[in-house]
Copies of this chain bind each other. A is one copy, B any other.
């Protein structure tokens, strides 16, 4: 049981340097650990690396849309998102909430208000998490069961130990059972490398995965990619 209230880690995603910096400074003054990101890819990468407890996200971003960032973040791991929107556009806000944002703030906003919202959202989420206890989202493909909540995998009711990357790879394949996924796609989703050129990393992990869950459960489609057998 952790005794001290753990320090909360926030991710601030905002392309305007002045706003990003002032928000960051203020939140740090409030005692949060803050990581900054200035565009979509950076945000996704930072989130993957730091696993923040909450994300403050501008919807208007270079790279790709803030909504897209939100979607990707949620897809990877549910994380509370406080959306910043310059437009006072109902549709935009609704879209944000639909892709997993939990609250929003329209520009221009005061820092005091932002801080209050962040605190409120964290409180809300943490209370829910506390009540939630253990839970999971389960994927299944044939005799393979993947629990993304506990990150455990069983094959024919036998538990198997997978490394983090192996697990993510399997989860990615299992999200679309039977479907063939290209190496590029896997590199983008599992490794967050939008650019994939001549690396054999995927193959190496596929090999490891096969050794652990059974070689014939991962199908090679020559010249295309890999697929999880459903059977």
Contact = CB atoms under 8 A, between A and B. Distances in A.
B136 A108 contact: no
Contact of A135 (B97, B102, B106): B106
Given A97-B145, A222-B163, A133 B108 contact: yes
A131 B110 contact: yes
Given A150-B178, A157-B94, A117 B103 contact: no
The oligomer's copy count stands at 2
Interface residues of A, number: 54
Dominant secondary structure at the A interface: mixed
A106 B133 contact: yes
The residue among A103, A129, A227 with the most chain B CB atoms within 10 A of its own CB is: A103
Contact of A138 (B102, B110, B113, B164): B102
Interface string A66-93: 0000000000001000000000100100
Interface in A120-171: 120-121, 124-125, 127-138, 140, 145, 149-151, 154, 157, 163-164
Interface of A: 1, 78, 88, 91, 94, 97, 102-113, 116-117, 120-121, 124-125, 127-138, 140, 145, 149-151, 154, 157, 163-164, 176, 178-180, 221-224, 227
Nearest to A80: B112
Contact of A150 (B105, B111, B136, B179): B179
B138 A104 contact: yes
Given A102-B140, A112-B124, A113-B131, 19 more contacts: A88-B134, A94-B145, A103-B137, A103-B138, A104-B135, A104-B136, A106-B133, A108-B133, A110-B127, A112-B125, A113-B129, A117-B137, A131-B176, A149-B179, A150-B179, A150-B180, A150-B227, A151-B221, A151-B227
